[in-house]
Amino acid sequence: MTAGTAFYHDERCLWHSTGEAVLFLPVGGWLQPLATGGHPESPESKRRFKSLLDVSGLAEQLDVLSAEPVTREDLLRVHPAAYLDRFEELSAGRGGEIGQEALFSHGGFEIAALSAGLAKRAVTDVVCGRYRNAYALSRPPGHHCLPEEGMGFCLLANIAIAVEAVKAEHGLGRVAVIDWDVHHGNGTEAVYYERDDVLTVSIHQENCFPVDTGATTDRGHGVGLGYNLNVPLPPGSGHETYLAAMRDIVLPAVRDFAPELIVIASGLDANMVDPLARQLLYADSFRQMTALVMELADEVCEGRVVAVHEGGYAESEVPFCGLAIVETLSGIRTEVVDPFEETFIAQQPSARTLSHQLAIVAELAEEIRSL
């Protein structure tokens, strides 16, 4: 009988270093070093997420597992050899930058391969029936990484590498990727833009990052036409707007596609206090979005859902959002209460603003249907 939920984590992924920065820019010039010394893509939000799983008692009710790094063969299904060779060479030295805002230190290649390995094992174990669903706490993240270039803190395309490995090794067919990271999932989109076996869906803040991708008119190319879907929401979108976009746009598209597996690109940076975005979600928003995906998965793919961690930089709120997702996947509710929830609910958009945002969702749905 298939077991419940697995959680994939490795302490070594938290040792990945992106150096000093102010927001996403390196220290220097007019930018003074922060007192915390931090780049937003630090280990702390992820470490606190895992710590809350431990302290809440949820972790002991899951199978918490690590994984082997992905192999060169795994990587070559997505990334060209020239990119991997350059990455490995820099990693063997002092590290460097392998694309826009894609920094790493010595040994970064090995840690990135391990991060992708967590995603691969999570997808493999669910597809092979060992677990009903899973969460991979991958770091560094992957959804911005292009085949030939790192980008936006992402060094390897974790989800694509995992999906392609399981396609090759276990005959996995149609896959839907639902990316609710607040930034457009341009890397995953690029990998699958001309294919019809993987539906890529990104719900994100419009013109946040990257500023020149993520339009509704980008629907794929060639045989992939119609198999890429972007849902750009205005800054300030809150709980009800996201749920409406999920119900009215995202889930119907996935249902029509009828995948054999749903992968969530689980960025938690649409939370209300994230330093790199301006959306207004809170822990229960992610709980409810997860529940909606699980209901659909029960309908179309025997409940098979894998969430792979992407962004999320608010150390205060990411742990509660992550816990809410894992609680929902596992069906186990802990005693943890998000102490910020009452404040965040009070700060949601007013009725007038919400009406405007829901009208935008309706317009997006109509625009997408007409393409």
Is the pLDDT confidence value at 57 over 90? Answer: yes
pLDDT tens by residue, 137-181: 999 999 999 999 999 999 999 999 999 999 999 999 999 999 999
3-state secondary structure of 102: coil
Average pLDDT over residues 196-211: 98
Please give the Cα distance from 174 to 281 (Å, whole number): 30
Task: State the pLDDT at residue 309.
Answer: 98
8 Å CB contact between 65 and 6: yes
Task: State the pLDDT at residue 37.
Answer: 61
Tell whether the torsion through CA atoms of 116, 121, 127 and 131 is positive or negative.
negative
Average pLDDT over residues 33-39: 75
8 Å CB contact between 128 and 2: no
Please give the Cα distance from 320 to 237 (Å, whole number): 19
Is the pLDDT confidence value at 340 over 50? Answer: yes
Q: Is the pTM of this model over 0.75?
A: yes
High-pLDDT (> 70) share of the chain, %: 99
8 Å CB contact between 220 and 227: yes
Task: Out of 143, 144, 183, 309, pick the active-site residue.
Answer: 144
Q: Of all residues in the chain, what percent are helix, strand and coil, respectively (each to 5)?
A: 40, 20, 40
Please give the Cα distance from 198 to 242 (Å, whole number): 23
Tell whether the torsion through CA atoms of 263, 100, 210 and 274 is positive or negative.
positive
- Could you confirm whether 204 is annotated as catalytic? no
Please give the Cα distance from 215 to 268 (Å, whole number): 21
8 Å CB contact between 190 and 219: no
pLDDT tens by residue, 63-112: 999 999 999 999 999 999 999 999 999 999 999 999 999 999 999 999 99
Q: How confident is the model at residue 39 (pLDDT cuts 50, 70, 90)?
A: confident
Task: State the pLDDT at residue 60.
Answer: 97
Identify the CA nearest to 312 among candidates 341, 284, 272, 347. Answer: 272
Cα–chain center distance at 48: 17
Please give the Cα distance from 285 to 281 (Å, whole number): 6
Q: Which helix (H) or strand (E) holds 178?
A: strand 175-179
Please give the Cα distance from 254 to 300 (Å, whole number): 9
Is the pLDDT confidence value at 2 over 70? Answer: no
pLDDT tens by residue, 263-294: 999 999 999 999 999 999 999 999 999 999 99
Cβ atoms within 10 A of the Cβ of 222, count?
9
Average pLDDT over residues 3-31: 90
Task: State the pLDDT at residue 1.
Answer: 42
Cα–chain center distance at 105: 22
Task: State the pLDDT at residue 33.
Answer: 80
| Beta carbons within 8 Å of 107's beta carbon, 6+ residues apart | 91, 95
Peptide bond into 259 cis (omega under 30): no
